[in-house]
Structure 1
Amino acid sequence: MYLLTGNNEVGPALTRRLQQLSLLLFAELPAPSASVTLQAGEAVDSAVPADHWAFLSGGQVRGIQAQQGVVEYEAGDLLGLTGGYALPDFSYVAQQPSTLNLYPVGDVLRHLHLSKQRAAQWTAYLLTHISLLQQTVTGDASNAPTTGSGFLQFAPGEVMIREGELAGEVYHVVQGHADVYRGDTKVGEVLPGELFGAMAMLCGTPRTATVIARDDVLVAAVPQDDFQSLISRHPETAVTLMENMARAINDLNDRLRQHETTTL
């Protein structure tokens, strides 16, 4: 999957991340309920039931909005993500002979939540998908502001969020690494593909830690409304996030106790 609009480094980075997650998530799917082959110019919509997702196993399909091509899908991509929930979606048209494997949405979701690790990867997939599609409205990421929604860039040593501040977004790391501090104590790190800032968003509390860029970091800022929409459409995502946060809190408490012990 790649965007037909925009020309910057953010889109390809997100596309690579989406491809990596797709391989992890969908490689072991069971046999599809059906397969359909479309010729160039044929519409996909009529071939895919509303309660199904389609995986493109061969060919190329274009996502169209307002009569304009927006996204190009390739083998291994998932089509109809929002349409599977009866929400607005692209129109899809085959660009060449293309084969689609069809799965009921419920069957795919059960597969994705067979383990906590896979559920966490699914959360990352959804956020990466949102981040990639934001490219169609945010334009060139190199012109992105240093605050607010969209794609943000941070230099080494720059504070990304500060402990005690009010939360407005959840952040998904596209590139780079960051360190997490409580006061002056380092209590964790954030790696590429991970998200941070969700605890304050979910709990309605100020930020519980400060996050500082370790090297050049590029993040996608997911606004509160988009994040809440994601949670409402995929409530299992909230469970995964809360489990991850609980583990992070335990790790943080352990590190703080170790710090207190060494300073006595």
Structure 2
Amino acid sequence: MLAKAELSQDFTILGRQYKQLVAALLEAVNMPGIPMEVGPTDRGNFRGFDGNQFYVIERGSLTARYQGKLIYVMEQGEILLPDIAGNQEEEAAVYFGSDAGARLTAYSALEFMRQVFEDPAAIRLWTRLLITYSGLMLRITSGSVEADAGATPGFEIYEPGEIIIRQGDRADYVFNMSVGTAEVIVDDVPVGRIVDGEIFGAMAALTQADRSATVRAKTTCSVVKVPKEQFTELIQRNPATIHSLLIDMANSIVNLNEQLVGLRG
């Protein structure tokens, strides 16, 4: 994904991760799509655009324009989702076209999501994809407006021993562990671990409470962080996110129980 705004290196890293998640999700769903060719677009959406379908870019690129301005460019291997297509009001709509044409594969959004909901692994991939996508969009937004003091999305690298979350701090973000392993510590006692693909930090963010535990990188960790307001909106619009979040919370409870058994032994 390319943005008109000048963005930092973490945007490139997020974009690479987004493509990897798209490929993994398509493999997990394993659903045949409908190939289609898109010609150059003068205005509006590309010919054949349907808000009830997902589109994966197989060749070429798609542009996203808002109020006549180019916002970003989607590249080969990325997916266009219908819930980012704006609405029917011309002034508020986002339009997707192509400058030089593109080859796409179209998937029925309803059938695709039905397949996702049938597979817990696909649900986790879908949730990670949405979080990563939210990070990309928020980076584009923050790069296009003046900086403020509020929380902004990001992609962080933590070396072993570095603190990702500190117990007692305010909860401004929800995190997704892209790559790496971290340990969870409460009152200086290790009580659990966080591994690839897990969402963490959500409980405090959703309940408006301070952080109840410290999370410290055990290996080099690549972490996507999303402001809590954006994560709340994500949950409201995508019920699959709740399922994935519950799985991660259940895993955390299992890990905590294992640690308690070990301490008692």
- TM-score, structure 2 normalization: 0.81
Please say if residues 7 and 140 of structure 2, whose CA atoms lie closer than 8 Å, have aligned partners that are also in contact.
Answer: no
Q: Distance in 2 between matches of 1:219 and 1:139?
A: 20
Determine whether 1:108 maps to 2:112: yes
Q: What is residue 167 of structure 1 aligned with on the other side? A: 171
Which residue of 184, 188, 199 maps to 2:188? 184
Q: What is residue 65 of structure 1 aligned with on the other side? A: 66
Q: Deviations over 1:153-194 (max 9, x none)?
A: 566544332334453321234566533212222233334654
Q: Distance in 1 between matches of 2:212 and 2:226?
A: 18
Q: What is residue 37 of structure 1 aligned with on the other side? A: 37
Aligned residues: CA RMSD:
3.2
* Structure 1 spans left out of the alignment, 5+ residues: none
Displacement after TM superposition at 1:91 (Å) = 1.4
Matched to 1:58, the amino acid is R
Displacement after TM superposition at 1:138 (Å) = 3.0
Q: What is residue 123 of structure 2 aligned with on the other side? A: 119
Please say if residues 82 and 89 of structure 1, whose CA atoms lie closer than 8 Å, have aligned partners that are also in contact.
Answer: no
SS in structure 2 of the partner of residue 109 of structure 1: helix
Superposed counterparts of 1:1-264, under 5 Å: 1-27=1-27, 28-32=29-33, 34-42=34-42, 43-45=44-46, 47-83=48-84, 90-139=94-143, 148-151=151-154, 153=156, 157-173=161-177, 177-191=181-195, 193-203=197-207, 205-214=209-218, 219-261=223-265
- TM-score, structure 1 normalization: 0.81
| Percent of aligned pairs sharing the same letter | 24
Matched to 1:195, the amino acid is I
Q: Distance in 2 between matches of 1:232 and 1:5?
A: 29
Q: Deviations over 1:51-91 (max 9, x none)?
A: 22222222211112233322222233211342479697631
Please say if residues 144 and 150 of structure 1, whose CA atoms lie closer than 8 Å, have aligned partners that are also in contact.
Answer: no
Change (3 A) 1:67 1:219: farther
Q: Distance in 2 between matches of 1:184 and 1:17?
A: 33
Displacement after TM superposition at 1:13 (Å) = 0.8
Q: Distance in 1 between matches of 2:211 and 2:173?
A: 11
Matched to 2:163, the amino acid is V
Q: Distance in 1 between matches of 2:148 and 2:261?
A: 40
Please say if residues 144 and 151 of structure 1, whose CA atoms lie closer than 8 Å, have aligned partners that are also in contact.
Answer: no
Please say if residues 46 and 98 of structure 2, whose CA atoms lie closer than 8 Å, have aligned partners that are also in contact.
Answer: no
Q: Distance in 2 between matches of 1:53 and 1:177?
A: 33
Q: Deviations over 1:85-141 (max 9, x none)?
A: 96976311112221222222111111222321111111110000011112213339x
Displacement after TM superposition at 1:216 (Å) = 6.5
Please say if residues 83 and 89 of structure 1, whose CA atoms lie closer than 8 Å, have aligned partners that are also in contact.
Answer: no
Matched to 2:50, the amino acid is P
Q: Distance in 2 between matches of 1:139 and 1:192?
A: 28
Q: Distance in 1 between matches of 2:131 and 2:142?
A: 16
- Aligned residue pair count: 257
Displacement after TM superposition at 1:227 (Å) = 0.9
Please say if residues 22 and 76 of structure 1, whose CA atoms lie closer than 8 Å, have aligned partners that are also in contact.
Answer: yes
